[in-house]
A and B are shown apart, each in its own frame.
Chain A
Amino acid sequence: MARMRTHTDKRKSTYRIAALGLLAAMSLGIYALESLLPPLFPIPGIKPGLSNIITLFALRRFGKKEAGIVLLVRILLSALLFGNAVSLVYSLLGGAAALCIEIITNAILKGRHLYLTGAFGGLFHNTGQLAAAMIIMRTAAVLAYTPYLAIAGILTGLFTGLCAHYLLSSLRVQEEAA
């Protein structure tokens, strides 16, 4: 019995490592593709934030620790590949704020209404980035953008949350059919 359990544990952890690596790679790919899109609005900081779909998926499917790992890997690799030290500060503060609120919201909602979790994530991502901008620019004048970034964060977060919701439910249907 003991040997069998370690065997399945090993298989589970191998699956986990492979799945998290895949998610991190997908998240990085989405981030890279998104950065090629021209900005839709002439307001800095507004972007679809599609890699949040992967973060939300990892959070629901695996848990908060795993979502944190996927997010951190994506942020570090994207700063290394396409960014610099300054963009790393923006990504880290935005990502950390978003993940923290997503973990809290997801716990309060007990995993239901993932679009709300996404919307809170988007809102707090932009709040974190505003804080980063205040630190880097050393002025509070950037706060003039707060309402615009709040609206954009909530709407893009709703969208990515819905994407993650449909991704999870269609996967569940496929797994039940298999």
Chain B
Amino acid sequence: MSAILILTLLLSVIFVITDKSENDAYITIRSCGEVVWTGSLTAVRDETVLTVVPSSDGRAKVIEGIDTSYEHYNVISITSDGVSVTESDCKNRICIHQGLMTPGDLPIVCLPNKLLITISPDEGNGADAYTY
């Protein structure tokens, strides 16, 4: 029994250590399971600020700039360095603490607001390849 655990632990550590791939980045923002915004990191010149508002009926909204007048929101900042969540109404603020995500990093997740931001090497590759 303990062998199974040790094996899982070792495999996980190996994955964590080797999980770094540097490539051009294709950003996908999902809210409530739907893709609401996509873009390429290399195409970003100035800082792009978006506010994503989740919706229970599957009509999530993306607003340019900062708009914190909604009940639930995540403010996302995209620069040529990477993506980060700068403001959120969620309780634990894990999405903000994840900081700047650069290509090859883990996706940013905000579980309470059902937000997921991924950077995959290019369209249709990486994490997106086994979506659906």
Contacts and interface: CB of A to CB of B under 8 A. Distances in A.
Interface of A: 38-39, 42-45, 86-87, 90, 105, 108-109, 113, 116, 119-120, 123, 133, 136-148, 150-151, 154
B113 to A, nearest CB: 10
Interface of B: 1-2, 5, 8-9, 11-13, 15-16, 19, 28, 30, 33-34, 92-95, 97-99, 106-107, 109-112, 114, 116, 118, 127-128, 130-132
A17 to B, nearest CB: 33
B16 A148 contact: yes
A146 B131 CA distance: 16
B8 A137 contact: no
Contacts of A154: 5, 8-9
Nearest to B34: A138
B5 A42 contact: no
Contacts of A150: 8-9, 11-12
B114 A136 contact: yes
A140 B127 contact: yes
A42 B15 CA distance: 18
28 contacts: A39-B93, A39-B97, A43-B106, A44-B95, A44-B109, A45-B111, A108-B1, A113-B1, A116-B2, A120-B1, A120-B5, A123-B8, A137-B30, A139-B30, A139-B33, A139-B116, A139-B131, A140-B127, A141-B118, A141-B128, A141-B131, A142-B107, A143-B127, A143-B130, A144-B106, A144-B107, A147-B15, A151-B16
Nearest to B30: A139
Given A113-B1, A151-B9, A151-B16, 20 more contacts: A39-B92, A39-B93, A42-B94, A43-B94, A109-B1, A120-B1, A123-B8, A133-B109, A137-B33, A138-B33, A139-B127, A139-B132, A141-B127, A143-B127, A144-B106, A144-B118, A147-B15, A148-B16, A150-B8, A154-B5
